[in-house]
Amino acid sequence: MKLSIEATIVMLAAFPVLVCPGAAFSEPEQRSWPVKRVVLIDARDFRVNPDALFVDGEAPSEDRSHLDAAADSARVTLAGEAEIEVVGVAGTGLADEDPDSTEYVVRGMLHLGIERYRDIRLVEAISVLEGAISLARESYVDVLMPALVSDLYLFLGLCRLETGDPDMAHIALKNMFLYSPGRRFRSGWFPQTQEKALRAAALDFAQSPPRENPLDTMDRVAGFLRRHRVDALIYLYLWPGSDGSPLIETRVFERSLKDAETIEITRDSRLWTGPEAASLAISSWLACADIPSRTDTTRRLPRLFLNTGFSYSMFAADNTTRTGFHNLGVAVGFAYQIQPGLDTFMKLNVFRTLEDSYGDLLDDFWSLRTSIGVGYSAVFSWGRVFTHFGLEMNYLSGFRSSTDPRCKLWPDDPDLCGSSDVSAPSFLFGATGAVGVNVFVSRSVFVMVEVGLSGYFVASEALSDLNFPFETGFGVGYAFF
Amino acid sequence: MRPVPAAILRRLLPLLAGALAVSALSCDSSRLISGVYRSEDSVYIRDVAGFSDGCWVELMLAQFGPDLTGIVRVFDEDQFIVPATGMCACRYLEDGKVVDQDLSFAFRSNGDCPGSDQTPLVIASFTFDKPDTVIDGGSGEYLTGTLVVEGGDRTTASTITLRRVRAWGDLSSDDLLCDDPLVHGEAASGLVSRGTAE
């Protein structure tokens, strides 16, 4: 077979289309930088004229040329932003030629409902049509295939009229206009009753403010965005303003950066001057949109750490008792990250002593230990590691000790226990150092473990009596961002 | 923040609580001997005035680890009601020591109450029987040993048994009272050897 040059060129040009029919609807090129995925659903023109609802002869299909032009203009503007990825309806996966897709199921139910309507099996028809509408809403077919859902509501309304339920019919027919406001009907095609009902629904729709949310509720918007893995949904519609001038309304529903379950709405309303008005509206949104490069992606780490817990302490150098004595107490403290790696802290401990095994400690007593200083710390996503250095003051309330057994049994009898037999330091001043770790158990709540050692260089009594307390503590805390 | 798995925390927290509980517990062996003991029989101490005819001895002992202090009371009868006559009925222990379950201490014989520093010391040496040695259905807590005057022969001294009649926790403030003239009276000056300051 001999091919002409022209035929060869045509075949070569057609090859990619013939071999890769899905290329026209394939996913956009994967970009190496973060992008915001946006879906632009079909625009709608809510300028319904009830008087022009019925036309002589064959009803024309809805004129969407101006809406398509507006959508194209918006799409071009969106495509000009490198950090925006426009995901078309095809890209959502619902337009795939999959006979098992929900769209085909809904379409099949529509045909079944129409057959039941024509067979005057109205109850069954209503059941099928309502089921189809419910399924369409569950799978967001009502957003992606509004004309299909409009047909469902049309026949549901007609069935309701036949069953003598004009109120419900009115609601269904009004919903029909919501999904396909530009549809027309052949004059005389429907009985007078039905024509009247259609005209009344159109009039009601035209007099009612349009719904700005194509999905009705924010929960459905969040579900749609989540299901199709997109960050924003853009919806354009035309409607007459208060003075009758056409307005183009733009609504952008996008997931909040702070909380993915929260939907933020951006509204734009401007005079419809042609398709470029859509471009201007989109440009206006893009100017302030939270696209990735404008988003503060710096990982925010907590600055203020507040903790409470239990502490244990014992003096490493203790000349007042022969076996040493234990201190159990509670602690409260905070640390503030001055800058990465550097923090300042303050801590307050209240201890209660436990009796030492030889009873050298004549009385249990309270002690108040407070420290303040700076530290080196590293904050991670899982927690924080720190080392603290500072000054410490320790006040010992009613400390008395003796190794004389008579002082233990008769501490207040001067004949048996001389005052020189009891040592009683009350204030200790020195330096402290500690290391610790905070581990987050939730975003802000953490558990804390800390060990430290202090050394005193000033005391109200002999310094050698008590010194170098080591301390360990554990507790829980809260981190403030 | 990336939280730590709860399973790890669930394992760590009981360990921490257990460690704290163990550290909070203290062994009470340092108070093992404390209590009030009474002699089972009349006590005779050779060459000590007042004890030659036999009398009944009550010890209030307070142990603080290796140290021991307390009061020695002497009675004329086995009901421990009538204080001994002709001698000081109450003395403070001196230089009490405890090593394992062996204890020793001294007290002034004070046969010439109100006494003086010339009064000889009585040296006590006892062993605390373990609580599981139950005798006659009593408390099963006994001190067995000797009381010997200072310089006396311990090998020939008769063995004395005292039974604990009150544990440390059952003592009242009256048990701690002792009007010892050597301590509180005119003869108090410089007689008692006390512990020194730390």
Residue B1 located in a structural domain: no
Residue B178 located in a structural domain: yes
pLDDT of the residue at B184: 56
Q: Report the complex ipTM.
A: 0.74
pLDDT in tens, A395-416: 888 777 788 888 888 888 877 8
B69, A405: Cβ pair inside 8 Å?
yes
Confidence of residue A470 (pLDDT cuts 50, 70, 90): very high
Confidence of residue A249 (pLDDT cuts 50, 70, 90): very high
3-state helix, strand, coil in chain A (%, to 5): 35, 35, 35
pLDDT of the residue at B7: 55
Least Cα separation, residue B195 to chain A (angstroms)? 5
Q: Which residues of B touch A409 (CB under 8 A)?
A: 62, 69-70, 176
Residue B46 located in a structural domain: yes
If interface means Cβ-Cβ distance under 8 Å, which residues of chain B face chain A? 1-4, 6, 9, 16, 20, 23-24, 26-27, 30-31, 62, 64-70, 92, 96, 176, 183-184, 188, 192, 194-198
For chain A, the structural domain boundaries read 35-294, 304-480
Superfamily of domain A35-294: Tetratricopeptide repeat domain (1.25.40.10)
Residue B197 located in a structural domain: no
Q: How far is CA A415 from CA A60, A282, A288, in A?
A: 121, 97, 88
Residue B7 located in a structural domain: no
For the range B9-15, what are the long-range contacts, defined as Cβ-Cβ under 8 Å and sequence gap of 24 or more? B9/A441, B9/A447
Give the single-character DSSP code of A317.
E
Residue B92: exposure state from Cβ atoms within 10 A (0-12, 13-18, ≥19) = buried
B195, A403: Cβ pair inside 8 Å?
yes
Closest chain A CA to residue B12? A447
- One-letter amino acid at A263 equals I
Closest chain B CA to residue A413? B184
Helix segments in A232-352, DSSP class H: 275-288
The mean pLDDT value for A69-89 works out to 86
Residue B62 located in a structural domain: yes
Confidence of residue B117 (pLDDT cuts 50, 70, 90): low
Q: Which residues share a beta bridge with A6? A: none
B195, A423: Cβ pair inside 8 Å?
no
Vertex A344, ends A343 and A345: CA angle to 5°?
125
Residue B2 located in a structural domain: no
The mean pLDDT value for B160-168 works out to 89
A121 Cβ under 8 Å from any chain B Cβ: no
The answer for A55, left when phi > 0, alpha when psi is -120 to 50, beta otherwise, is: beta
pLDDT of the residue at A301: 75
B-proximal residues of A, 138-177, CB under 8 Å = none
Domain ranges, residue B88:
29-188
What CA–CA distance (Å, rounded) separates A228 from A397? 67
What CA–CA distance (Å, rounded) separates A233 from B3? 33
pLDDT in tens, B62-109: 998 899 999 988 888 888 888 887 777 788 888 999 998 899 999 887
Q: Which of B16, B24, B26 sits opposite A357 (nearest CB)?
A: B26
A474, B69: Cβ pair inside 8 Å?
no
The mean pLDDT value for A53-78 works out to 88
For residue B64, give both structure tokens: 């603080």
Q: Look at strands A232-240 and A44-45 and give their pairing.
A: parallel
**CB neighbourhood size of A96 (10 A):** 12
What CA–CA distance (Å, rounded) separates B37 from B72? 10
Whether residue A351 contacts residue A389, with contact meaning beta carbons closer than 8 Å, is answered with: no
What CA–CA distance (Å, rounded) separates A435 from A472? 10
The helix/strand/coil state of A169 is helix
Helix segments in A361-409, DSSP class H: 405-409
pLDDT of the residue at B20: 54
A358, B70: Cβ pair inside 8 Å?
no
pLDDT of the residue at B1: 45
A310 Cβ under 8 Å from any chain B Cβ: yes
- Which of 2.40.160.20, 1.20.120.420, 3.40.50.300, 1.10.10.10 is the CATH number of A304-480? 2.40.160.20
The mean pLDDT of chain A is: 84
Closest CA to A340 of A377, A365, A293, A314: A377
Residue count (chain A):
481
A460 Cβ under 8 Å from any chain B Cβ: no
For residue A117, give both structure tokens: 């309507």
Confidence of residue B112 (pLDDT cuts 50, 70, 90): very low
Q: Which residues of B touch A417 (CB under 8 A)?
A: 194
Q: Total structural domains in chain B?
A: 1
Least Cα separation, residue B188 to chain A (angstroms)? 8
Interface test with B, best of A415, A467, A470 (most B CBs within 10 A): A415
- On the question of pLDDT at B2 being above 50, the answer is no
Q: pTM of the entire structure?
A: 0.51
Q: Which residues of A touch B190 (CB under 8 A)?
A: none
B-proximal residues of A, 48-107, CB under 8 Å = none
Closest CA to A43 of A60, A66, A59: A66
Q: Which residues of A touch B30 (CB under 8 A)?
A: 357-359
pLDDT of the residue at A211: 84
Least Cα separation, residue A405 to chain B (angstroms)? 6
Whether residue A232 contacts residue A253, with contact meaning beta carbons closer than 8 Å, is answered with: yes
Whether residue B69 contacts residue B48, with contact meaning beta carbons closer than 8 Å, is answered with: no
Sequence-ordered list of residues with C-beta below 8 angstroms from that of A41, at least 6 positions apart, any chain: A89, A143, A144, A214, A233, A234, A235
Query: For B186, phi and psi rounded to 5 degrees?
Result: -65, -30
For residue B39, give both structure tokens: 């002699």
B3, A358: Cβ pair inside 8 Å?
no
* CATH number where B160 lies: 2.40.128.30
pLDDT in tens, B3-59: 455 555 556 556 656 665 554 444 456 778 889 999 999 998 887 877 878 889 999
If you write DSSP's letter for every residue of A190-244 in order, what string do you get? S-HHHHHHHHHHHHHHHHSPPPS-TTSSHHHHHHHHHHTT-SEEEEEEEEE-TTS
